[in-house]
Every structure is written in structure tokens, then in C-alpha cells.
Chains A and B, each alone.
Chain A
Amino acid sequence: MTTISNETTVTDDTGNVEAHPTPELPATLTVSKPRAKKSNLGRWLPPLLVFLVIVGVWYLISLFVLDPHLRFLLPLPQDIIIKGFIDPLSFNALIVALYQTVIVSMLGLAIAIVLGVVWAIAMSQAKWIERSLFPYAVILQCIPILALVPLIGFWFGYEFQSRVLVCVMIALFPMVNNTLFGLQSVDKGHKELFALQGASRSTTLLKLSLPAALPAIFAGMRISAGLAVVGAIVGDQFFRRGTPGLGILISNYSSRLQGEQLFATIITAALFGVVVFWLFGLLGRRAVGKWYDFT
């Protein structure tokens, strides 16, 4: 670059219309703060009210509709808390099963993320690769997992790895699909900018396509994370050998008509799903929220 050491500074006294956007920034912030407080209440109150209504109806059914000997169909909420969560025996079983489900689902998710991103990157490199591989992603998505259970059992046994495999199969498609969509949605101008500099394929992928695809990848991760939890519970019910996960616990409790423990386990599984969904949303916002409106 040419030397600019003898710079002269000229003060331009014409209108500063575009040169100083900073005053706009604090203005936006001060407006948004009180709005955020209001919307917080508005956000939490309606679902809270619905929750109270549900609990009310629950009590009504449990106390007045069900015969006491049929109460295991819908136990009283406090019984679920006492017998399902606080009781040491139930609590221990729940924690062990939750741990197992967390391991299975997160391992399955991790494999699905890596596999999905690699698969999508491969497809984004050439149309013929996409044409060759995409149908199999769709087929994978369309096969009922139940139909493959015997085969998976034959090949991989009825324990841990088969459960992980079910998770991977359920969680893979959103990763492949979203990543591919993200990679293919890169702005044409940005691609030309890189092409003009003679950037290599790998440089373009690392410095342009992958960062540009991150919002789509994180959106896919959030969907896949939820599905991986479903996969772990479903996998448990098919492949019951080894340390029990939440799925095995659910079927055990249901066969023993232990309503309180059954409900506690279902609630735990649901909460785990919600936490995972929320966590990956948070991760997405952390990763790309600064420059992308990740909702």
C-alpha cells in the first residue's frame, strides 16, 4: 500500500448524515429496556396460567373422577413428588436412568452433528455428489425406525450401541438438511468476492460457507437435539439390555402399575428434552446471535 505518512486532515463541515450513526444506538437501547421488562411478564404469565389450569383439572380428575384403586392412572401431584422423586429408591433409579439417557442421547447427537455436517459439506462441493447422496438422507428420514429394529439388534446387539445408533438415525436428517441449506444459501456477492481473490475451495469453505451456514447449522442442532432425546427413549424400549435408561424405566414402571414413579420418569424425560432444546437455543444465540437474529 502506498505510504500515507504525510496525511493531511480535513474537517468536513457539511451535514453528518451518515457518518455518525452512534447516537442511534443508545437511543435504540434505552427504548428496548423497558419494553423487555414488560414483555418478560407478558411472556411468562400466560403459560403459567395455563399450567395452573392444567394442575387444577388434574386434581379434579384424580380426586373426583378416578376411583381410588384406579388412581395410578393419574396420581395426585404431591404423590408423584413424594413417591416418584423424593423417595430414595425412586430417586436413585431416576438419576441412574437419566444419566444413561443423557449419555446415549448426547453421544448420538454428537455423532449425528459430525456426520450430518460432513455429509452436507460433501454434497455442497458438487451437484453430482448432492444428487448421489441426498436421496439416501431422505430415505433415512422416511424409514420407520421400528422396521429396522430387528436388523440393528442382529448387527449391533441389544445394548448401548444400538440405542446410540437409533439416536443418530433419528437426529441425522435435520443436521444434513439444515447444513446443506445453509451452505447453499451463501450470498452470491460474497462468493464472487472470494472468487475474485482466487480463494481455494477449502479457504472459501472455512472462511465463508461454514460461518455463513452457522445459523442454519445451529437451528438444525436444536431440532436434532430434541430428536436425539426421543431417540434415546425409543431406543431404550427396543434395546433393553444393559444399564437402564429413562425409556426402560418408563416401561418397567408402567408394567408394574407404579403410576407415581411412571409420571415422575415421564416428567424427567420431558424436562430433559426441554432443557436440551433450550440449551442448544442458547448455544446458537451465543455463537451467532451477535450478527444473526437467532430466535
Chain B
Amino acid sequence: MTVTAPAPSATQAPANEVLLDFSNVEMTFPDGTIALQGVDLVVKRGEFVTVVGPSGCGKSTLLRIASGLETASQGSAELGTDRIGYVFQDATLLPWRNVTANVELLAELHGESKKDRSVKAKEAIDLVGLNGFEKHLPKALSGGMKMRASLARSLTLDPELFLFDEPFGALDEITRERLNDELIKLFNAKNFAGLFITHSVSEAVYMSTKVVVMSGRPGKIVETFDVPFAQPRDPDIRFTPEYAALVGEVSHALRKGHGHS
């Protein structure tokens, strides 16, 4: 298959610009469940931060607060931009719209002209490698292609902060690795900041510049790892001892945070 690697963004914004700043964020649901407690997290431009943690530890809640879908019970969650992309766990494509119409949706909701959104959709479809499938309805696409379409839809907003809620969780291993590589390419080309939620430690270490490990409920950050590997990532780092060692360390922290020793 042909993957298009985009050219680096022409307008490079200042590095180290804080795009997401969580300070002592706490989330208590109406039924009294404490989902998050004392979460401090900063995501800067050029960073790809991945959050790993056991099921139900509040990872998704973290993302929902960042996006504004939920409001933190305590603490502050500040955003440095209003250009936010959000990729859901499911592709959430509208089944009655074909790929192009789905990709155009967000620009359409923002009231952009038909011509503008058509140009943006075409670019985004090129970027995610869905050329030739523009007229396909979602039901004719594989899981991976649906996710690509979903990614393309968010790309039309040209987000500065990209939030990913376990987007590749339901995909098979090969598709997932392939999409990991393509997302890294996009990250390097588009210069956005990423906050990525996943269950998979190897995916987290492979993709991110920083891995944040959360404990079981109530979700707290137990450890943060800087990932030293250079970007753009060489897919072969997956087979290096350094990578394996870091995956081991993160897994260890995850088990500790989950009550295993």
C-alpha cells in the first residue's frame, strides 16, 4: 500500500508551548465514584504523551475533561489552544455518509464553504492513505480503514492538540502497528501535541515522547517515563534491547500501580 508522508508544517509554532495543563485535577462522579485524584499533567507542543493504566482507572475521563466533554470536580484543566482534534475509541463515522462526506463533517459543522471543506477533506484523505475509497460507505470499510477515515476527519481541523481515546484498541496487531507508524509520521509532519490513551504498553513506548502510568481507581499518576528514542521513530527500535527494557519498566510500574508487586 502507498502511504503518503506529509511535508513538515510550514508554520512552525514555538516549541515548548503548553497546550494542555492539568493541575490537581479530580473527578468525582455523582454516584460518589472517584475517577481521578490529584492529576498533574502538562502536554507541550512537540510532545506525544501516552497514558497507560488498568481498565476503569479514569484514562478516558482524563481525555473527556481535556476535550471539554466533562468538567473536573476540582483542580484546573487549561488548554493552550482551541484547535483540538478528538479521535474516539470507535470511528464514529456517520453510516449514511461516504468517506468524503464523513471527513468533511467537522469543517461543515464549522460552517466552512463547500469548496474549502472539499479541499481539506481531499488533503486529509490523501494523508491517511484512503485514496480510492472516497465514495465508500463506512460499512464497506475494514476496522482499520474506518479509523483512518476518523483520523482524516479530525485532521481537517488542523488541530494543535490531538486527543486519542484508545483509537486502535479494537484492531488486529498488524493493522495497529501500521497505524502507529502512520500516526507518528503525521505527528512529526504536523507538529501537533498528542495525548494518547492506550492499554498497550508497547504501543505507548513505541509512539510517545513521554509515557504516563496511572494507578487503578481512583486514577492517579504513579510514574512518568521520558522516551529517549529519536523521532521520527524507526520501526526497528521495537527489536532493540533498550526498547524492551523500557517496556519492561513501564509494565512494572503499571503492575505496581495496580496493586501487584
Contacts and interface: CB of A to CB of B under 8 A. Distances in A.
A185 interface: no
Nearest to A15: B174
A21 B142 contact: yes
A193 B94 CA distance: 10
Interface residues of A, number: 42
A6 interface: yes
Contact of A197 (B95, B96, B110, B123): B110
B172 interface: yes
Contacts of A196: 67-69, 84, 86
A6 B80 CA distance: 29
Given A1-B158, A4-B126, A192-B69, A10 B92 contact: no
Contacts of A16: 1
A19 B9 contact: no
A219 B144 CA distance: 32
B69 A195 contact: yes
B3 interface: yes
A2 B9 contact: yes
Given A195-B69, A199-B109, A4 B92 contact: no
Given A211-B94, A290-B137, A1 B1 contact: no
A19 B11 contact: no
A291 B88 contact: no
Contacts of A198: 109
B5 interface: yes
Interface in A273-295: 288, 290-292
Most A CB within 10 A of own CB, among B95, B137, B155: B95
A219 to B, nearest CB: 16
A207 B108 CA distance: 10
A283 to B, nearest CB: 16
B163 to A, nearest CB: 10
A28 to B, nearest CB: 10
A18 B143 contact: yes
A255 interface: no
A211 B94 CA distance: 9
B7 A4 contact: yes
Contacts of B139: 291
Contact of B178 (A1, A18, A193): A18
Given A7-B4, A16-B1, A1 B155 contact: yes
B145 A21 contact: yes
Interface in B90-132: 90, 92, 94-96, 105-106, 108-110, 120, 123-124, 126-127, 129
B69 A190 contact: no
Given A2-B11, A17-B175, A290-B137, A193 B2 contact: no
A12 B178 contact: yes
Contacts of A9: 2-5
A292 B139 CA distance: 9
B126 A12 contact: no
Contacts of B138: 291
Nearest to A1: B158
A4 B140 contact: no
B7 A197 contact: no
Given A189-B92, A196-B67, A211-B94, A18 B145 contact: yes
Contacts of B75: none
B144 to A, nearest CB: 3
B190 interface: yes
Interface string A91-127: 0000000000000000000000000000000000000
Contacts of A33: none
Interface in A208-233: 208, 211-212, 214
B228 to A, nearest CB: 25
B141 interface: yes
7 contacts: A1-B124, A2-B6, A2-B158, A7-B126, A189-B88, A208-B94, A211-B94
Interface of A: 1-12, 14-21, 25, 187, 189-190, 192-199, 203, 207-208, 211-212, 214, 288, 290-292
